[in-house]
Structure 1
Amino acid sequence: MSAFRISSPDGARPHGGTTRPVSRHGSAPALVNSRNVLDRAQTNAGNRAVVQALQRDVGAPTATGNGPNPVAAAPPRQNYVFLMGDPTRDSFYSAAAVYFGQHEKGAQLVRGKRTLDEVIAHVNAGTAAASRIIIVSHANEEGNLGFSLNTADAAKDASSGDRKPRLEFKELRDANASGALPVADATKIDSATRVEIRGCNIGRSQRMLDAIDQAFGGEVSVSAPTHKQEYSFHSVGKGKPVVSEEALFQYSISDPGHPTVTADERARRFRARYPDVPEGRWAALLKAAKEKNTRRKVFTWTGPNPPADDAAAVFARIGTASMFPKKAGWVVTYNGRTTVGDSWHFEVQADRVTAAGSETRTQAIVTRIPPDPDVLKAQQIADSGQPDAHEWTVVDAVVGPTLTRTVYAEHTEWVIDQKIIGKSGVAQPPTSDRTFYGESSFTPSPPPKP
């Protein structure tokens, strides 16, 4: 196994400055004119001004022999590793704790934080600027992270849905817009800070990486794997330290929807995506490739099913044939559909003439207005952490008087459930490798002009 080595900078160093010694001539000649005296006086005055300016700016030695003014060196930067789950209950975190304890010497290994606002607040309270902030968490390709936004969100996560902590793209996007998170301290989190997410597939969500970037102040860079992340460790002998490993898992190619992919095309795409895989391994790998189609309900609306905006549909829904029978002399007219607030009103009018005179009656149906399918779909796309990876559809189902309108997101992956292995063994590519890591691209808005 190749060693996992990451060197971290110790912070920016101040630029040094040097001064040339001021040249001083020997004794002046006995006979000088006033012009020579004035020239020398101006030269000496200029030299003194330069020396004094350098003394102020960089602590240069003075002409009188005083020592340099001290310039404080920038303190070393701090690395952090946040384990966002309980190592005593989850083997992913227990193995990660072993790995980072061995391979991130000097980093502050932080347990017990379960929300993003706690992570930001912890780094803000540090004594030095952060070099690397490593956040270890369960995650997925939609951009979801396995921890909550803040205390209120943690309480909501614990009492609803599957009762698991989860931070979604739309939650973080809205929190950034509303200022619900602590403001990143620019003296601790800056353009030299890297935020590294270690969680499965989250690097596929460009939107989430940019939202995380913004949450940390917008000057950092954020990276995250586009493949499954795993940690492991094993013993090599009694009395010897365990060997720990960080690896990426599962070769994959994906498409929106559920298209047909031929075997030749699938093989070509796998080879193109993973050029470091030795050619001799491809036959066995491709044989193990499996299709995984996922079509999931993203949003469902349920309400009364309104009739179509035409006379036949409304008459049928009201039952005018029995309510206003022709043999009784009734003539039924559709007065149309009107919008009142968030409801539709469908009105019919029935008239007849009897021996006693004329008679007019009206009857109406009132239903809630269903959300427009295109608007509903557009909203879900806007809230998705990875919209381009899916094919989006809206499907209606009518049961009796009830309409159910559902937005589906569908995508298909071909996966090879094996550990990523390159030419030199288990792949531990640098975070700059775009096959295996996504990178944030968020650019903060320029400050307003004074």
Structure 2
Amino acid sequence: MGDTKRDPFYDAANVYFSQNERGAEILRDKRTLAEVIAHVNAGATPALRIILVAHANEEGNLGFSLDAADLKRDAQAGDRKPRTEFKELRDANATGGLPLADAAKIDASTRAEVRGCNIGRSQLMLDALDQAFGGATQVTAPTHKQEYSYRSAGKGKPLVTEEAHFQYSIEDPGRPTVSRADRATRFATKYPDVPSSRWPGLLAAAKEKHVKRAEMSWTGPNPPADDAGAVFARIGTAKRFPAKAGWVVTYRGRTEVGGRWQFEVQADRVTSKGSETRTVLIRTDIPPDRDTLKSQQMADSGRPDAYVWTVEDKVTGDTLKRTVFSEHTEWVIDRRIVGKSGTAHPPTTDGTFYGSSTYAPPVPPSSTP
């Protein structure tokens, strides 16, 4: 799903699959999920295996676009790299934005696999891919970094190619305190095939990767609190309506008018000429609800349970910036994963190294006899 001439990952994967999947149709010109589905639909026979080789990450993002329109948008926005996020695929499934997978070409006998870094950690994305492929197959993907390599075996000999998992890891939502002893226990428990003699050296190379990321921000006027003191301070009633001049100031409350908040203050006084009343109004946009913002971001995340979600407000003058953060900590050892017998090549049924989709299509209602 990428350029084999410019990207070493795709180059090595191309060499690997060309050598190890000689009976396969290897495509190097598809750049969107829509193209893949359309190509399989157009095949003369059912697909036995569909393998998507692509950059990916643990958040549930794939390194290719959804369709031609999305590919164009990706090329013009952000880092200008192709990307399909969980929320994009979820919405496309809901609205029919992708070609409908042909059930005769992608059925229960089809194996769909993604070979991309860490994408198997996102259960939601695997299920969304399963749905995009029609729901009859099961999608599997690695929970670790995916690595391909090749080297010369000598003149006249075929290249030596290898597929491997890279980077031992343990992770937690937020940033909990993990002692060195606890780290050692968790790593050894997760990777039981690693000889105990190797752990001291591996653990010495472990590094903490803590990320607190701003997922979205809303910026707008900061309304005063719904009480007299806050509203009086915002208006400056002490100067505008001084008590020594006979003014009595009353807070009339907050109401919603036209989708905005309106704060009303009334000032009254009696003079030698009669009574005087003045009304002062403050109108502001209504800031989005903190819990609603957080819930929206969690719903759009490919791994909502992997993070601690918080909402933080920053007030500068009369301006409010409300930001939703996700926080996550991972301990990683940047080494190829090696067991007692050498480079780990676990089956796709191994839950430590692969995630599997669980999507089941809705059962159509039965007709009344």
- Superposed pair shares fold, TM > 0.5: yes
1:401 and 1:99 map into 2 onto residues whose CA distance is 59
Give the counterpart letter for 1:221 in structure 2.
Q
Given the alignment of the two structures, is residue 259 of structure 1 paired with residue 139 of structure 2, yes or no?
no
Uncovered stretches (5+) of structure 2, i.e. residues with no partner: none
Shift of residue 342, structure 1, vs aligned partner: 2.6
Match of 1:227 in 2: 144
Given the alignment of the two structures, is residue 144 of structure 1 paired with residue 61 of structure 2, yes or no?
yes
Give the counterpart letter for 2:146 in structure 1.
Q
- Counterpart of 2:226 (choices 277, 288, 309) is 309
Q: Deviations over 1:60-117 (max 9, x none)?
A: xxxxxxxxxxxxxxxxxxxxxxxx1111111110110000000011101011111111
Given the alignment of the two structures, is residue 353 of structure 1 paired with residue 284 of structure 2, yes or no?
no
Match of 2:335 in 1: 418
Match of 1:240 in 2: 157
Secondary structure at the residue paired with 1:112? Answer: coil
Q: Deviations over 1:234-289 (max 9, x none)?
A: 11212322111111000011111111111111111111100111111111111111
Given the alignment of the two structures, is residue 218 of structure 1 paired with residue 135 of structure 2, yes or no?
yes
Shift of residue 422, structure 1, vs aligned partner: 1.3
Match of 1:209 in 2: 126
1:323 and 1:189 map into 2 onto residues whose CA distance is 74
1:343 and 1:87 map into 2 onto residues whose CA distance is 54
Given the alignment of the two structures, is residue 98 of structure 1 paired with residue 37 of structure 2, yes or no?
no
Match of 2:37 in 1: 120
TM-score by length of 2: 0.98
Q: Deviations over 1:297-326 (max 9, x none)?
A: 111111111100000100111111122222
1:281 and 1:446 map into 2 onto residues whose CA distance is 50
Q: Deviations over 1:378-412 (max 9, x none)?
A: 11111110111111111110011110111111111
2:70 and 2:317 map into 1 onto residues whose CA distance is 38
Match of 1:171 in 2: 88
Give the counterpart letter for 1:427 in structure 2.
A
Structure 1 segments of 4 or more deviating over 4 A? none
Secondary structure at the residue paired with 1:102? Answer: helix
Match of 2:187 in 1: 270
- Counterpart of 2:313 (choices 389, 396, 403) is 396
Which is higher, the Rg of structure 1 or of structure 2?
1
Shift of residue 355, structure 1, vs aligned partner: 2.0
Given the alignment of the two structures, is residue 297 of structure 1 paired with residue 214 of structure 2, yes or no?
yes
Give the counterpart letter for 1:178 in structure 2.
T
TM-score by length of 1: 0.80
Give the counterpart letter for 1:165 in structure 2.
P
Give the counterpart letter for 1:378 in structure 2.
S
How many residues are paired up? 367
Match of 1:435 in 2: 352
1:353 and 1:410 map into 2 onto residues whose CA distance is 58
Percent identical: 69
Matches within 5 A, 1:314-353: 314-353=231-270
Q: Deviations over 1:387-442 (max 9, x none)?
A: 11111111110011110111111111111110011121111111111110000000
Secondary structure at the residue paired with 2:141? Answer: strand
Secondary structure at the residue paired with 2:57? Answer: coil
Between 1 and 2, higher relative CO (CA 8 Å, sep ≥ 6) is seen in 2
Give the counterpart letter for 2:189 in structure 1.
A
